[in-house]
Chains A and B, each alone.
Chain A
Amino acid sequence: MTTTRRSLLAGAALAATFAMTPAFGQSPTEIELFFPVPVDGQLARDMATLIKEFNEGHPAIKVTPVYTGSYDETLIKTRAAMKAGKPPAVSIMSANFLRDLQIEGEIQPLDTLIKADGKSNDQFMGQFFPALSGNAVLDRSVYGVPFHNSTPILYINAEHFKEVGLDPENPPKNWAELAAAAAKLTKREGDRVTRWGIAIPSQYDTGGWLLQALTYSNGGRWFNVDYAGEVYYDEPSTLGALTFWSDLVKNKVLQPGVQQNGAVSTAFLSGQASMMLHSTGSLTFVRSNAKFPLKVAFVPKNLQNQVPIGGASLVVPTGVEGERRKAAWTLINWMTSPEKSGWWSRATGYFAPNMQAYELPEMKAFLDKNPDAKVAVDQLAYARPWFATYKTVPVRKAVEDELANVLSGKKSPKEALVAAQKAADEIMKPYVEQTALKLPGSN
């Protein structure tokens, strides 16, 4: 009995000591950063390096980086942490989730923080590539700060090009040239294709993104950037894009059915496909694993050069207040500064959202050494926002399921797009009814 009481007392004393510590020394503000790694394990170590450097330079703040898996899992874990009343101070969030999070009131506008730094929203966003604003500034408020970004790009096996008499220095610029090159590059043994002219990923997430890219290249709009309740699936520009994609299958230069991201880059790296459309986010990986001379080029156009961005932004969840909020802001500004932005870009292959990053000597040297990375940056001049609506993922899945049907020959492009539009409208209906169709006189 006595021992129990004594140990209890000791415990209480110990607890009291801990409780009083902050009163004695200036303890740092502790915050967490939830971060996904969309590509591979190396990036998780790079992130640890980056945060360690931040903590050493900012003794008043202690950031704990928490690896939260994929983009989707990071969304789940951030929401779960918020439900438990313990939101992370900062999350790196897939840029197309911001609209949904804003509609649900789960992330906070950063306007007051920007104002406190003596800047207007336009001045603040002015440091980033203009194409990135559409997914970060919603209803005129800044909800996210771009961290790493990508666009689709055409990867070319220069060896195969030379082999069939094409000039790798003069890559396909439009759809006609792309289709012709793909036909030339495809190799057959009897009926069996031994080398595909081109590979295009069509799995969930990437499929919608690339169909958006082709639709943009065809002059289309794809979705309403200003209003979260409209998509343009059943439109001539989209129909043209989907038909072009489906014709590549019909002409037997692209494998039928859905292709996954990994399968596509493996096919390209192993020489089973001579070209691929893929994210610039894979550039570092592809460059370091290609055993042949690699070339990259803009996504070929039909009517215009235009591609959507991809990537992720830093957000501050609702409920992060006071010192934690200030610390979060310090971290965000540090991570998106030209130096850190550029460092992360060189490590990953994503481009640095901060334009100043490209003025730094180390970045200039890097681009001189890797001209392919420069192509990716140049294409940014033609970039537009990424698809984001009310309930982004299921609305995107509506068209991706139909894309799968077309690529496996189950539906014609027109039938598919009518079905996709109908399914998407059905999902967005609650939002549309409470916004654009909520009129005076109704309730």
Chain B
Amino acid sequence: MADTIIASQPTPAWRLAIRHPRRKTLVAFGLLAPSLVLLALFTYWPIIQLTWQSLHGQQRVGGPQVYTGLKNFADLVADPAFRKALVNNLIYAFGTVLPSLVLALGFALALARSNRINTVLRSLFFLPVLLPLVAAASIFLFLFLPNVGLLDYYLAKLALSGPNWLGDPDVALWSIMVLTIWKNAGYYMLFFLAGLQAIPADANEAAILEGANPWQRLRYVTLPYLKPTIGFVLVIGLTNVVTQVDHVFVLTKGGPADATNLLLFYVYQQAVENYEPGRAAAGSLAMLGLLLALTAASLRTLERSFGEPES
């Protein structure tokens, strides 16, 4: 229909020009060029540089950078701090992504109906997202402050005393995880709210007619419809746990005794504090590989759930 309307008018010259196949490719490249240039400059070129750096190191203290093969990668794997950071990052990933997902879904389900109270509550839950991570961490630094912090202040009113939230190697990572969950749940809630809007009303109505209880409706109607959203949020969540360490800088600097050291912070330490650019580059590449694998896996799950026929 639309085509016939356009065809009935004289076709402008530019439109004819881009219909030519070769021209079409050119135009496509032209349109892609800005982001391609940016990607090349700020993503692909750094990756090439990183790869070069990961294969080079000092042979002599104070000496020039020479080719050292895979030595940096071997050093990386042999470094207990790297293994510790890897394990921490895994605990951190599971311990933050799953709870924030569940919380976000809970918030979204509770606040799905649009009314004035829910709008206010949604904004409240979304508020932490608006804060930069560094600022949020500074606030939590105060909450976690031993003796005088808000947390200990209220515990003291109950005649209790808390642990050293950021200074105890057994507790610090969990304290940091609380911040991450608090910060991210509201963000993921947005996606779930959008996902819930997309569920056709008749699916739920049919389920009610069939006598499904709320739990069954959640399990057999809502969750299957939300699958693509869950996959998407999973990708974002996993990317976040690898790429965001601002709060580690502010709260613990990876301590005590590497208890809160995460991969990206480890890379920073190698590059800056230890002055081992080669090992830092190797660490970055390892992280990049990990991220690509995680994203590919999540995206595949995502596509599969998109491709599923509606039943």
Contact = CB atoms under 8 A, between A and B. Distances in A.
B159 A255 contact: no
Given A256-B168, A257-B167, A272-B147, A189 B255 contact: no
A401 B255 CA distance: 7
B13 interface: no
A437 interface: no
Contacts of A400: 255
A193 B61 CA distance: 50
A143 B50 CA distance: 32
B256 interface: yes
A72 interface: yes
Nearest to B80: A423
B80 to A, nearest CB: 9
Contacts of B247: none
A408 B146 contact: no
A395 B167 CA distance: 21
Contacts of B60: 434
Interface size bracket, B side: 20 to 34
A45 interface: no
The A interface is mostly helix, strand or loop, or mixed, namely mixed
Interface stretch (A3-11, A150-158, A236-244, A263-271): A263-271
A393 B276 CA distance: 12
A431 B161 CA distance: 47
Interface size bracket, A side: 35 or more
Given A263-B145, A431-B61, A434-B61, A408 B275 contact: no
Contacts of B269: 394
B120 to A, nearest CB: 34
A434 to B, nearest CB: 5
Contacts of B97: none
Interface of A: 72, 75-76, 100, 103-105, 189-194, 196, 202-204, 255-260, 262-263, 266-267, 270, 272-273, 390-391, 393-394, 397, 400-402, 404-405, 407-408, 410, 427, 430-431, 434-435
Given A263-B145, A404-B259, 13 more contacts: A104-B62, A192-B156, A202-B167, A202-B256, A204-B254, A258-B255, A263-B146, A266-B145, A270-B148, A393-B274, A394-B274, A407-B167, A435-B61
Interface of B: 60-62, 141, 145-148, 156, 159-161, 163-164, 166-170, 253-259, 269, 272-275
19 contacts: A190-B159, A194-B156, A204-B253, A255-B164, A257-B169, A257-B256, A258-B166, A267-B146, A267-B147, A270-B147, A272-B147, A272-B148, A273-B147, A391-B274, A404-B256, A404-B257, A405-B169, A407-B256, A434-B61
